[in-house]
Amino acid sequence: MIVVTCPVCGIKGDETDFHYGGQAHVRRPATTDPVNITDEEQRDYLFIRHNPKGLHFERWRCDRGCGKWFHAARDTVTLDFKAFYGITELPPVELQQQAKGPWADYFQSRAKAR
Amino acid sequence: MLEARFETPLANCEAATGTYVSLREIGERGMIDLRGSAGDKKFLAAAKAVLEVDLPKQPRTSATWGDIRVFWLSPDQWLITCPRARAQDLSEALSAELAGVHSLAVNVSDMRAIIRLEGEGVREVVMKGTSIDLTHGDYPPGSVRRMRFAEIAALLHVVEDNVIDIYVFRSYAHYAWEFLRKAARKGSEVRVFPKAV
Amino acid sequence: MTGKPYRLATGGSRIDRTKPITFSFDGRMLPAFAGDTVASAVQASGQRVMGRSYKYHRPRGVIGLGSEEMNALIGVGIGARHEPNLRATQIELYNGMTTVSQNRWPSLNFDIGAINNKLSRFFPGGFYYKTFMWPRSFWKHVYEPVIRHAAGLGKAAEERDPDSYEHMHIHADVVVVGGGIAGLTAAEAAAAGGVRVLLIDENPVLGGIADLTAGKVGEGSVADHARAVAERLAALPNVQILSRTTAVGHFHHNYMMAFERVADHDPSLLANGAPRHRLWKIRAGHIILASGALERPIAFANNDRPGIALASAVRGMVERYGVAPGTNGVVFTNNDDAYLTALALRKAGVNVRVVDSRARPQGDLVKLALAEGIEVSPSSVISKVDGTLNVKSVKIAAYRKGQGRVITERQVDCDFIAMSGGWNPALHLWCHNGGKIRFDDGLASFRPNTHTDAITAVGAANGTMSVAETLTEAVAAGEAAAKSVNAKAKALKAKMPAVEEPSRGALEPLWFAPATGGYNEGNKHFIDYQNDVTAADLELAQREGYESVEHTKRYTTFGMATDQGKTSNLNGLGVLSEATGKSIPEIGVTTFRPPYTPYSFGAIAGSLTKDLFLPVRRTPIFQWHKDKGAVFEPVGQWRRAYTYPTAGEDKHAAIAREILAVRNKVGLLDASTLGKIEIKGPDAAEFLDRMYTNMFSTLKVGKCRYGLMMNELGFLTDDGVTVRLADDHFLMHTTSGGADRIAAWLEEWLQTEWTHYKVFVTPVTEQWAQFAVAGPRAREVLQKLEPDFDMSNEAFPHMSFKVGRLGGYPVRVFRISFSGEMSYEVATPANLGRGLWDAILAAGEEFGIEAYGTEALHVLRAEKGYIVVGDETDGTTTPIDVGLEGLVSKKKADFIGKRSLEQSFLKGPNRKQLVGLLTDDPNEVLPDGAYAVREVKDKPPMDMIGQVTSTYMSPTLGRSIAMALIENGRARMGETISFPLEGGKVVKARIVSPVFYDQDGGRINA
What region, left, alpha or beta, does residue C457 occupy, with left being phi > 0 and alpha being psi -120 to 50 degrees?
A: beta
Among C811, C823, C858, C837, smallest CA distance to C625 is for C837
C contact test, residue of B3, B5, B34 with most C CBs within 10 A: B5
pLDDT score for C55: 78
Q: Is the pLDDT of residue C279 over 50?
A: yes
For A81, C178, C379, the CA distances from C42, given in Å and listed in that order, are 53, 27, 35
DSSP C609-672: SGGGSS--B--TTHHHHHHTTPEEEEETTEEEEEE---TT--HHHHHHHHHHHHHHS-EEEE-T
* End-to-end CA gap in chain A: 38
Chain C residue closest in CA terms to B172: C617
Amino acid at C650: D
Q: Are A4 and A12 in contact (CB under 8 A)?
A: yes
Q: Which residues contact C430 (CB under 8 A, 6 or more apart)?
A: C250, C289, C437, C448, C451, C455, C457, C461
Distance set, CA C622 to CA C631, C632, C671, C733 (Å): 12, 10, 12, 21
Nearest to B128 by CA among B12, B14, B19: B19
Domain boundaries defined on chain C:
1-159, 169-293+425-493, 297-421, 526-587, 622-667, 669-860, 896-1004
- What's the rounded Cα separation, in Å, for the pair C212 and C234? 22
Q: Which one of C281, C713, C748 has the shortest CB-CB distance to A69?
A: C748
Nearest beta carbon to residue A46 from set C283, C712, C752: C712
Interface contact B145-A14, CB threshold 8 A: no
| Phi, psi values for residue A95, rounded to 5° | -75, -35
Do C896-1004 and C669-860 have the same topology in CATH? no
Alpha helical stretches, state H, chain B:
41-51, 84-97, 122-127, 173-183
What is the tens place of the pLDDT at every residue in C13-45? Answer: 999 999 999 999 999 999 999 999 999 999 999
- Reference C478, options C495, C498, C492, C496; nearest CA is C492
The average pLDDT across C365-376 equals 97
Chain C residue numbers with beta carbons less than 8 Å from the beta carbon of B8 are: 831
**β-sheet bridge partners, residue C377:** C355
Domain C896-1004: CATH class, spelled out: mainly beta
Domain B29-107 is in which class? Answer: alpha beta
How is chain B split into domains, by residue range? 22-27+111-183, 29-107
Instruction: Provide the shortest C-alpha distance from residue B159 to chain C (in Å).
Output: 21
Pick left, alpha or beta for residue C893 (phi over 0 → left; psi -120 to 50 → alpha; otherwise beta): alpha
- CA C333, CA C420: separation in Å to the nearest integer? 5
CATH number corresponding to C669-860 = 3.30.1360.120
| Higher-pLDDT residue of C39, C129 | C39
| Interface touch A16/B73, C-beta < 8 Å | no
Q: Is any Cβ of chain B less than 8 angstroms from the Cβ of A16? A: yes
Q: What is the mean pLDDT of residues C187-207?
A: 97
Question: What is the sign of the dihedral through the CA atoms of C300, C304, C306 and C308?
Answer: positive
Shortest distance, CA C713 to any CA of chain A (angstroms):
8
Cβ count near C968 (within 10 Å): 15
C132 CB neighbour count, 10 Å cutoff: 15
Would the pLDDT of C2 be above 50?
no
- pLDDT at residue number C1: 34
Nearest to B5 among C275, C764, C832 (CB): C832
Q: Which CATH superfamily is domain B22-27+111-183 in?
A: Probable tRNA modification gtpase trme; domain 1 (3.30.1360.120)
Integer distance in angstroms from the first to the last C-alpha of chain C? 101
Strand pairing class (C197-200; C959-967): unpaired
Q: How confident is the model over C276-299, as a mean pLDDT?
A: 96
- Of C698, C692, C669, C928, nearest in space to C817 by CA: C669
Comparing CA positions, the residue from C540, C509, C527, C471 lying closest to residue C229 is C471
Q: Which of A10, A17, A66 sits opposite B148 (nearest CB)?
A: A17
Is residue C523 pLDDT above 80, yes or no? no
Test mutation, C170, C198, C683, C770, chain B, max B CBs within 10 A: C170
Residues in Cβ contact with C413 at an 8 Å cutoff, skipping those fewer than 6 apart: C328, C392, C393
Contact C395, C383 (CB under 8 A): yes
The confidence score (pLDDT) of residue C547 equals 82
Is C164–B182 a contact, with Cβ atoms under 8 angstroms apart?
Answer: yes
Q: Average pLDDT, whole number, for chain C?
A: 92
- All residues of chain C having their beta carbon less than 8 Å from the beta carbon of residue A67 are 747
Chains that touch A (3 or more CB pairs under 8 A): B, C
Nearest CA in chain C to A37: C899
pLDDT of residue C124: 60
Whether C54 shows a pLDDT value over 80: the answer reads: no
Phi-psi region of C79 (alpha: psi -120 to 50; beta: other; left: phi over 0): left
Name the band, by pLDDT with cuts 50, 70 and 90, for residue C528.
Answer: confident
- For chains B and C, count residue pairs whose Cβ atoms are closer than 8 Å: 169
Contacts of A9 in chain B (CB under 8 A): 59-60, 74-75, 145
Give the distance, in angstroms, between the CA of residue C382 and the centroid of all CA atoms in the same chain.
Answer: 43
The single-letter code of the amino acid at C621 is: I
Contact at CB, B192 and C240, closer than 8 angstroms: yes
- The residues facing A23 across adjacent strands are A58
Please answer yes or no on whether B179 and C607 come within 8 Å at the CB atom: yes
Cis peptide before C645 (omega within 30 of 0): no
Q: What's the rounded Cα separation, in Å, for the pair B71 and B74?
A: 9
Look at domain A3-113 and name its CATH class.
alpha beta
Position C556 scores a pLDDT of: 85
Task: Please give the helix or strand (H or E) that residue C900 lies within, else none.
Answer: helix C898-901
B109 CB near a chain C CB, below 8 Å?
Answer: yes
**Considering only residues 37 to 76 of chain B, which have any Cβ-Cβ distance to chain C shorter than 8 Å?**
76
pLDDT tens digits along B112-168: 999 999 999 999 999 999 999 999 889 999 999 999 999 999 999 999 999 999 999
Handedness of CA C143, C146, C152, C157 (dihedral sign): positive
Comparing alpha-carbon positions, the chain A residue that sits nearest to B132 is A13
Measuring CA to CA, which residue among B24, B28, B29, B27 is closest to residue B14?
B24
Q: What's the pLDDT at C377? A: 96
* pTM for this model (two decimals): 0.94
Do the strands C416-420 and C328-333 form a parallel or antiparallel pair, or are they unpaired?
A: parallel
CATH superfamily of C526-587: BFD-like [2Fe-2S]-binding domain (1.10.10.1100)
Q: What is the pLDDT of residue C308?
A: 95
Of B60, B77, B153, the CB nearest to A64: B153
Q: Between C226 and C487, whose confidence is greater?
A: C226
| Cross-chain Cβ contact C834/B7 below 8 Å | yes
Q: What percent of chain C has pLDDT over 90?
A: 78
Question: Pairing relation of β-strands C220-221 and C216-217?
Answer: antiparallel
Other beta carbons within 10 Å of C59: 26
CB within 8 A of B174, min separation 6: which ones? B9, B10, B12, B13, C616, C618
User: Which residues 107-126 in chain B show a CB within 8 A of chain A?
Assistant: none
Residue C348 to residue C8: CA distance in whole angstroms: 8
Q: Are C184 and C295 in contact (CB under 8 A)?
A: no
Q: What CATH fold (topology level) applies to the domain C1-159? A: Ubiquitin-like (UB roll) (3.10.20)
Would you call B170 and C766 a contact, using CB atoms and an 8 Å cutoff?
yes
- 3-class SS of residue C520: coil
Is C297-421 a domain of CATH 3.30.70.240? no
Q: Is B70 helix (H, G, I), strand (E, B) or coil?
A: strand
For the domain with range C169-293+425-493, which CATH number is right: 3.40.50.10490, 3.90.1150.10, 3.40.50.300, 3.50.50.60? 3.50.50.60
- B82, pLDDT greater than 70: yes
Contact between A87 and C752 using a beta-carbon 8 Å cutoff:
yes
Mean pLDDT confidence for C818-839: 97
pLDDT at C777 over 60: yes
Residues 6+ apart with CB under 8 A from C265: C92, C94, C204, C244
Cβ atoms within 10 A of the Cβ of B58, count?
10
Q: Is A49 in the B-facing interface, judged by CB distances under 8 Å?
A: no
CA distance C671 to C659: 16
Distance from CA of B74 to the nearest CA of A (A): 5
Residue ranges of E strands in C88-138: 98-100
Residue from C602, C572, C604 nearest C588 by CA: C572
Residue-wise pLDDT for C342-362, tens only, equals: 999 999 999 999 999 999 999
pLDDT at C97 over 70: yes
Q: Which of A2, A30, A88 sits opposite C899 (nearest CB)?
A: A30
Chain center to CA of C311: 36
The domain locations on chain A are 3-113
Per-residue confidence (pLDDT) for residue B1, from 0 to 100 = 47
